Amino acid sequence: MSDSKTPSRCPFTGKTANGGELHQHASSKEDRLTTGQGLPVSDDQNSLKAGSRGPTLLEDFILREKITHFDHERIPERVVHARGYGAHGYFQSYGCHSDITKAGFLQDPDEKTEVFVRFSTVAGSEGSLDTARDVRGFSVKFYTKEGNYDLVGNNIPVFFIQDAIKFPDLIHSVKPEPDRGFPQAQSAHDTFWDFVSLSPESMHMLMWVMSDRAIPRSFRMMEGFGVHTFRMINEAGESRFVKFHWRPKLGTFSLIWDEAVKIGGADPDFHRRDLWQAIESGDFPEWEFCVQVFTEEEADSFDFDILDPTKIVPEEKVPLRPLGKMVLNRNVDNFFAETEQVAFCPSHVVPGIDFSDDPLLQGRLFSYLDTQISRLGSPNFNQLPVNAPKCPMRFFQRDAQMQTQVPKGRVANQPNSLDDGSPRECPETGFSSYPKKENGTKGRVRSETFADYYSQARLFWNSMTEPERNHIVGGFTFELGKCETPQIRKRMLGHLKLVDAKLGEKVAAALGMDGEALDIEPAVPIIEYEPSQSLSQYGKAPHTLEGKKIGILTSEGAPNALLEKAMKIAKAEGATVEIVAPKVGRCRTSDGTNLEPDHFLAGGPSMLFDCVIIAPGGDEEEGKALIDQADAVDWVRNAFGHLKVIGFTESAVDLLEKGGVKPNAEGGVIPLDEAGWDDFVEQAKAYRVWDREPMVRPV
């Protein structure tokens, strides 16, 4: 990509600054935006760069003031990613990858590198729900022999904005509105949709966030991405661009919206509990670490800019290269000491990994370190056990709050000739930035190569299966339906019409706003891409029960043979079984043994499971007792409505009928006679009965 020297372009109207038509210009001196010192701001959309595609300059005091203030808004809770959960594990390289990087942890397949991983939501506070519709953080701290490497990413490969200077505005827009303090952990309100509708660079990200990707089934079944383009450098000093990916061994699965909402009420810690239980039971979650590798020349041939964080590199264009695996095998000993005090910074890299000039990444390199100092109270946060490197640390930093070490000797400076034992620079093995030549005009500009806001959003839509498209329509409808300002809805409908005409029409019809979409002219022509199978969760989902939970609803006199059969099948398939009974106390099975249920009926709704079996005790009175309980009827209705495969015994027929569910083996409601078990397992491996959805949730 060449370095464009065109003037700054308004991200909404697409018109240039020298045309005098920038969106939302101040009409008088009193309306002017200023810094905290009263200095009028000429451009609050672009950070100061050396050329439109060059690095962000440390000189940019407006960017630093804005982000510094933002970083210090919460003490001690994180401003973003406040609700998180972590675990320990290890990373193991598949082999030597010296052709692309000299990073030591990627060279020896016999070496295990310790890691700490923190998953999180972005918008909600520490006390919010796990299952809120939101981006999920996916951050990994590698404790390598060359120092700590933090890969700080998300479960979505793109982001809302192209420049870090807009990050405080994005988060302020999605947080509870400041005059009223709500809504919590929701983007379904005016300030968010006003912001993104005026920032069309957000359109690709919005497609992901309105899809099921924003309501994952579990952390264990969630992809991770580095978001930005990074560099890898080998021993010869050769540089290649890379995109980082984490692929879950269990596959990528999500909840559906009604299910996510109800789980939030039944178990607000659903994702935390799932990860904890899996590790405690020895079902260690595993991900494959992959990269897309491409040269600068290849990047120049793409019809999008690899420095733009709102763009992906389709896997059809650059396939994934597996580098190694990550396994989480140990829960934390203390939530606060580890999960809350862990400090991730994108600037923590090791030799062989370097940065690109992505303007969002450039701002993050400053912001995260500043944030950690605010949250943890001192630049000595690296001395906390969860943050401390596992390799030797030797430096001349001294004192400051929370100093726990006792440095010895008279020398605290470099260079020096007074102490032969002091650390010295090592040009041979120390970190060296890639010597990329920069030559650009200093200014607040955005490259024209960032101006395509709709093509990859359309690519995402065209790559979805029919159920995924229906859920995206439902996501936009729900969120925009919560907006009180009609003009915001009209503006967003105009953008959706550019992404795809049918998408725009369906959302408009659902809102009762046919024909009200604003006419928006894209800044550049929209490119038609071939669909990418890798973008669809369900188009590539593995056919498996591994890692899934089978819920069995039963009662006094629970059929012992059925329970044993279910346990045996679950063990063979790598799944787990949990028993739901009317009460929390013991009940007896059909052979008279005691059964300790995992859940009582009101506290164990069917939403908590991936597939279900309904098997009341053989006693007629017990069967009727379940039918007379509203929670049992809802258990059945919700399982059917959430498209789960349902196995049932003869004693459950009346309960199914009360819940409005008709037995239909082809439709995933399967009698568990001798032949039915194989059918149940086979259909449950498909995760959901998608053909049922038009019946229960017409779109």
97 is an active site residue = no
3-state helix, strand, coil in the chain (%, to 5): 35, 15, 50
Render 343-372 in DSSP notation, one character per residue.
---TT---TTEEE---HHHHHHHHHHHHHH
Set 154, 382, 387, 470: catalytic member: 154
Q: How far is CA 458 from CA 306, 314, 507, in A?
A: 18, 13, 15
The answer to whether 182 touches 125, Cβ cutoff 8 Å, is: no
8 A C-beta contact, residue 7 and residue 18: yes
Distance in angstroms (rounded) separating the CA atoms of residues 342 and 453: 35
Query: Which DSSP letter does residue 340 get?
Result: I
Q: Among residues 81, 189, 245, 471, which one is catalytic? A: 81
- Burial code of 391-409, b = ≥16 C-beta within 10 A, e = fewer? eeeeeeeeeeeeeeeeeee
Give how far Cα 565 sits from Cα of 332, 646, 674, 681, Å.
34, 16, 11, 12
The rounded distance, in Å, linking the Cα atoms of 525 and 11 is 15
Which two tokens mark 26?
């101040």
**Hey, how many other C-beta atoms are within 10 angstroms of the C-beta on 694?**
12
Say how far apart CA 494 and CA 512 lie, in whole Å: 15
Length of the chain: 699
> Hunting for tokens 């040009």 — which residue is that?
427
d(CA 537, CA 540): 6
Distance of CA 391 to the CA centre of its chain: 30
CA dist., res. 571 & res. 567, Å (int)? 6
Residues in Cβ contact with 193 at an 8 Å cutoff, skipping those fewer than 6 apart: 187, 479, 480, 483, 488, 489, 492
Tokens of 566: 């279910």
HSE, CB side, 13 Å, CA atoms: give it for residue 158.
26
What is the C-alpha R_g of the chain?
A: 27
CB of 655 closer than 8 Å to CB of 636: yes
693 and 643 Cβ atoms separated by less than 8 Å: yes
380 catalytic? Reply is no
457 close to 204: Cβ distance less than 8 angstroms: yes
Task: Please identify which residue in the block is written with the tokens 């006419």.
Answer: 519
Annotated catalytic residues are 81, 154
